Amino acid sequence: MAKSPTHNKKLKDWVQKCARLCQPDDIVWIDGSASQKEQLEKEALESGELIQLNQERLPGCFLHRTAIDDVARTEHLTFICTRKKKDAGPNNNWMSPAAAYRKARAIFKGAMRGRTMYVIPFSMGPIGSEFSKIGVELTDSRYVVLNMLIMTRAGEAVLRQLDKGGDFTHCLHSKAELDIKKRLILHFPENNTIWSVGSGYGGNVLLGKKCLSLRIASFIAKKEKWFAEHMLVMGIESPNGHIEYIAGAFPSACGKTNLAMLLPPEGLKRKGYRIWTVGDDIAWMRVDSDGQLWAVNPETGFFGVAPGTNSHTNPTMVETVKKNTIFTNVVLKTDGTVWWEGSDGEVPREGIDWQGRPWKPGQLNSEGKAIAGAHPNSRFTTPISNCPSVSYRIDQPHGVPISAIIFGARRQHLAPLVYEAFNWQHGVFVGATMASERTAAQVGKLGEVRRDPMAMLPFCGYNMADYFRHWFAMGTRMAKVPKIFHVNWFRTDAEGKFLWPGYCDNLRVLEWILDRCNSKVYAVKTPIGYVPHPADIDKKGLEMSEGALEKLCEVNNQDWIEELKGVKKFFQQFKKDLPKELWEEYEALASRLK
């Protein structure tokens, strides 16, 4: 076995202990060097884990295919393992640590025989920053190593940091047999440990991402008095060069990645706006010595959804994925490039689908439905440094100051295009009652409302009642709290057509939000919050039907009274643990609606 290049005894002992359990043939420490990465790519090509793409057209790009039942996060196999069940809360699957370790140990036992165990030291956030957290992932997957090298700061420099001592998140992963019946994604927040076994899908196995930076980090953040949130962070530069930053939480399929890197629409270009992307998925935010909220993106890459990404929805991402990108479960074209439903260009006449089968558009399955070439959750993993709009501040330990927090959801009828909360307490209520309607992309009844507070339902590593309490407490720790807004790009007319064009035109709404932060415009007070005077949204270059903006800003009291019934049901599941402030806000809204 290879010598361990660490002086951190805790790390050395833990690696040995895991090796005794998983019994790999070899141990390789990831140093972050280009030569080691090349060697791993070469081996992955030989083993078939990666397929090389057309290197002229897509330099440094590869394709990977997962097992067919391993294509998304498996929330029903994801557990928070705290000593007391109550600490996981009604929003999480719970298992006792003893039972979880026992079950998983049986699957990990000997799982790496005939394989190499890679040791990946990684830092979430700039290495050495007092706000960053270190993790070490042990894995038998080269795909995981190569993805972690894109998504995190990994290698030698992190090991040297660990030589100084200090704790790290113990992340153990094995593909094992890639058997869904032997798959478990386990979080042990009380001992800073993650065990993931039986999967090769990014969200389950790139342990720095959802597992560490959200579930484990949210638990730590509560203790240490900061925020770990499922949020994009973006800067909006105005013509005088001043950049203001906002953070936004949206459930999946609501366009977080597209918003984080939008290009100003034609009509607004005249104002000279420019967007700077800090992050598209995770924000770690803390109160700095100036009493304001500051955010960093702990990641260094995007793990984005491919279908629907094109030059209209996200021209910046189209540029970003042209090099050094790993595509997962997309169509392989005959020219060695890739394609997915809703991508640019013509639909290829033939290709190899995400399952590795010959594919032609229009092919029908046994039920007469068209067979998609790319999986609906096919992905690309790509470095943030490729992104033309990357913020020059991504590596700064302090991050960026946040002027506004935006909560967003997909509602056909209820929520106006944008509204502003009355104050921090009301804003927390707005976030806690966030909900989206199911789309055809999700299993379940179309149009059914799913509550997803702060877009954190699958990612909060502890009882959400305590999480809400933490949000209220954070408000008292800031000298100046960011304003809180709610947006909805998805309101429809009587025929079910979207009233708002979305995508780059969303900047028009962000402009109003910043104008409100800077007290530049008045707003209309309604029972749910402040909505814009339609004249204050810049419509230059926008083709909209007469009265559409008025309709987008409408608040229908009766609909909100109905909505409160669902809110009440949701709150009641937390019983006495729910912070009283949320019931106060509930009652206040109910009486304003009367």
Applying CB under 6 A, the residues found at the interface with ligand OXD are 73, 203, 252, 281, 303
Quick one: 281 or 420, whose CB is closer to ligand OXD? 281
Q: From residue 537, how far is each of 133, 138, 243, 351, 514 by CA, in Å?
A: 41, 51, 20, 45, 12
Q: Tell the smallest beta-carbon distance from residue 214 to ligand OXD (Å).
A: 9
Quick one: 250 or 471, whose CB is closer to ligand OXD? 250
Joined together, the tokens standing for residue 434 give 């966030």
Which of ligand OXD, Mn ion, none does residue 142 bind to, with CB < 5 to 8 Å depending on kind?
Answer: none
Quick one: 203 or 348, whose CB is closer to ligand OXD? 203
Quick one: 172 or 231, whose CB is closer to Mn ion? 231
Q: Are 121 and 158 in contact (CB under 8 A)?
A: yes
Strand ordering across the sheet containing 351-352: 338-339, 331-333, 351-352, 358-359
Which of Mn ion, ligand OXD, none does residue 359 bind to, with CB < 5 to 8 Å depending on kind?
Answer: none
Q: Tell the smallest beta-carbon distance from residue 305 to ligand OXD (Å).
A: 7
Q: For Mn ion, which residue of 137, 140, 281, 585 counts as binding (CB under 5 A)?
A: 281
Give me the phi and psi of 361, to 5 degrees please: -65, 145
Q: Tell the smallest beta-carbon distance from residue 168 to Mn ion (Å).
A: 23
Contact range with Mn ion by CB under 5 A, out of 67-75, 280-288, 369-377, 580-588: 280-288
Q: Tell the smallest beta-carbon distance from residue 431 to ligand OXD (Å).
A: 16
Q: Tell the smallest beta-carbon distance from residue 203 to Mn ion (Å).
A: 8
254, 387, 460, 553: the active-site residue = 254
Q: Tell the smallest beta-carbon distance from residue 17 to ligand OXD (Å).
A: 31
Which of ligand OXD, Mn ion, none does residue 182 bind to, with CB < 5 to 8 Å depending on kind?
Answer: none
Burial of 492 (0-12, 13-18, 19+ CB in 10 A): middle
Q: Name the nearest CA neighbour of 583 among 454, 408, 428, 449.
A: 428
Give the C-alpha separation, 351 to 363, whole Å: 12
Q: Tell the smallest beta-carbon distance from residue 71 to ligand OXD (Å).
A: 12
AA identity, residue 459: F
Contact range with Mn ion by CB under 5 A, out of 21-29, 169-177, 217-225, 273-281: 273-281
The C-alpha torsion from 497 through 503 and 509 to 513, rounded to 10°, is 140
Q: Tell the smallest beta-carbon distance from residue 256 to ligand OXD (Å).
A: 8
Joined together, the tokens standing for residue 168 give 């790290």
Q: How distant is the alpha carbon of residue 167 from its chain centre? A: 25
Quick one: 24 or 279, whose CB is closer to ligand OXD? 279
Strand 435-437 versus strand 338-339 pairing type: unpaired
Q: Tell the smallest beta-carbon distance from residue 242 to ligand OXD (Å).
A: 30
Which of ligand OXD, Mn ion, none does residue 469 bind to, with CB < 5 to 8 Å depending on kind?
Answer: none
Query: What size, in residues, is the chain?
Result: 594
Which of ligand OXD, Mn ion, none does residue 299 bind to, with CB < 5 to 8 Å depending on kind?
Answer: none
Give the C-alpha separation, 344 to 332, whole Å: 15
Q: Are 42 and 321 in contact (CB under 8 A)?
A: no
Give the C-alpha separation, 415 to 277, whole Å: 27
Q: E strand or H helix at 550, and its extent?
A: helix 548-552
Give the C-alpha separation, 164 to 213, whole Å: 22
Which of ligand OXD, Mn ion, none does residue 314 bind to, with CB < 5 to 8 Å depending on kind?
Answer: none
Output 125-129 pairs: Cβ under 8 A, ≥24 positions apart.
Answer: 125/284, 125/296, 125/298, 125/397, 126/153, 126/296, 126/395, 126/396, 126/397, 127/153, 127/157, 127/158, 127/161, 128/161, 128/397, 129/296, 129/397
Interaction of residue 505 with Mn ion, rule CB under 5 A: no
Which of Mn ion, ligand OXD, none does residue 64 bind to, with CB < 5 to 8 Å depending on kind?
Answer: none
Q: Token match 């999946």: residue?
A: 252
Quick one: 210 or 491, whose CB is closer to ligand OXD? 210
Q: From residue 304, how far is each of 57, 266, 308, 374, 527 by CA, in Å?
A: 20, 26, 11, 14, 37
Quick one: 44 or 234, whose CB is closer to Mn ion? 234
Q: Token match 């092919």: residue?
A: 363
AA identity, residue 36: Q
Which of ligand OXD, Mn ion, none does residue 203 bind to, with CB < 5 to 8 Å depending on kind?
Answer: ligand OXD
Catalytic-residue membership of 81: no
Give me the phi and psi of 239, to 5 degrees please: -55, -25
Which of Mn ion, ligand OXD, none does residue 73 bind to, with CB < 5 to 8 Å depending on kind?
Answer: ligand OXD
Quick one: 76 or 576, whose CB is closer to ligand OXD? 76
Quick one: 159 or 254, whose CB is closer to ligand OXD? 254
Binding map of Mn ion across residues 131-150, x = CB under 5 A, - = no contact: --------------------
Residues labelled catalytic: 254
**Residues engaged in binding Mn ion (CB under 5 A):** 281
